[in-house]
Amino acid sequence: MTSIAFDAATARMLEQVYLTPDIVAQRARVLELLAPRPGEHILDIGVGPGLLAYDLGRLVGEGGRIVGLDASPDMLKAAGGRLGPLIQAECVLGDAAALPFPAAAFDAAVSTQVYEYVADMPAALAELRRVLKPGGRALILDTDWRSLVWRCGDQALMDRVLAAWDEHLFDPHLPSALGPMLERAGFAVRRVEIAPLLTAGWQPVSYAAGILRTMRDFVLKAGPRRGLGAEEIQAWHDDQQDLIARGEFFFSLNRYIFLATRDR
Ligand SMILES: C[S@@+](CC[C@H](N)C(=O)[O-])C[C@H]1O[C@@H](n2cnc3c(N)ncnc32)[C@H](O)[C@@H]1O
């Protein structure tokens, strides 16, 4: 299994992709659903480059606290640069499945695009519950890659590329199982909704444009073990370039947002 390396280069790539209009809109919806209040203590698990944590920090204000946790020192460096001006913000190195905080430390916690990379989800959810106050809110967002509708000229080749891409994370289909997992871990699921990423026609500054580049780079490394050679990957990429040139590019992918509360 070749998972994505969350290093300095990935931090730069994520910063670019996460500033595209579709992901900016997703972040706005996450903030709306989590509804942070001034003075609250909030944990961002897998803080990445810190764009959401920065907004959360502004909303809880100087009387509140925002803690960004990440397992990658490079990601924390990127988050630290962004959160530096906020005295209510702190960055902590740690693992989602072993959170370095006392019990009932937070009013709310958020984790976007992180749990799909985590191998031990029962441990991660037990930890999430432990660090929340009773009644505390948890917002989780992850992608289900089965929701992908991506136009192409060669579906068999696309399927092989996507199978290689699935190796970039632990569970490419986490959302469809997440509701029962949350209930088993002691949460009440309050709301589930889709955050769609849709590019119909071509938008060079979009999640789809970013993922096309990232996927090509990843499958060039992961593909050979699955019998997928560089020439085939180039053919897959050329097919997409042809669709873009003809104005026929179409990419639609769903992310799923779960809002839950610690109920016991
Ligand atoms: C795709 S990025 C998402 C970043 C951020 N949450 C966002 O939505 O902008 C995934 C992040 O999760 C972090 N991560 C992955 N596995 C983790 C784990 N077990 N514990 C903590 N962080 C983890 C990575 O280092 C990376 O920063």
Give the model's pLDDT for residue 3: 75
pLDDT tens by residue, 85-121? 999 999 999 999 999 999 999 999 999 999 999 999 9
* pLDDT over 80 (residue 77): yes
pLDDT tens by residue, 57-68? 999 999 999 999
Of all protein residues, the one whose alpha carbon is nearest to atom 13 of ligand 1 is 46
Give the model's pLDDT for residue 16: 81
| Rounded average pLDDT over 162-173 | 94
Domain count for the chain, please give it: 1
**What is the enclosing helix (H) or strand (E) of 256?**
strand 250-262
- Say if 129 falls within a structural domain: yes
- Say if 97 falls within a structural domain: yes
Range of the structural domain that residue 205 is part of: 8-262
Give the model's pLDDT for residue 99: 98
Q: How far is the CA of 143 from the centre of ligand 1 (A)?
A: 13
Report the residue among 6, 83, 170 best suited for mutation to probe ligand 1: largest number of ligand atoms under 8 A from its CB.
Answer: 6
**If we measure between CA atoms, which residue out of 71, 65, 263, 45 comes closest to residue 140?**
45
DSSP 258: E
pLDDT tens by residue, 197-247? 999 999 988 999 999 999 999 999 988 888 899 999 999 999 999 999 999
The DSSP string of 189-248 is: EEEEEEEEEEEES--SSSHHHHHHHHHHHHHHHHGGGGT--HHHHHHHHHHHHHHHHTT-
- Say if 180 falls within a structural domain: yes
Q: How far is the CA of 47 from the centre of ligand 1 (A)?
A: 6
| Confidence label for 19 from pLDDT (cuts 50, 70 and 90) | confident
Residue 118 CB less than 6 A away from ligand 1: yes
Give the model's pLDDT for residue 224: 86
Q: Encoding tokens for residue 191? A: 């709301």
- Say if 203 falls within a structural domain: yes
- Say if 1 falls within a structural domain: no
CATH, residue 16: 3.40.50.150
Q: How far is the CA of 113 from the centre of ligand 1 (A)?
A: 7
Residue 120 CB less than 6 A away from ligand 1: no
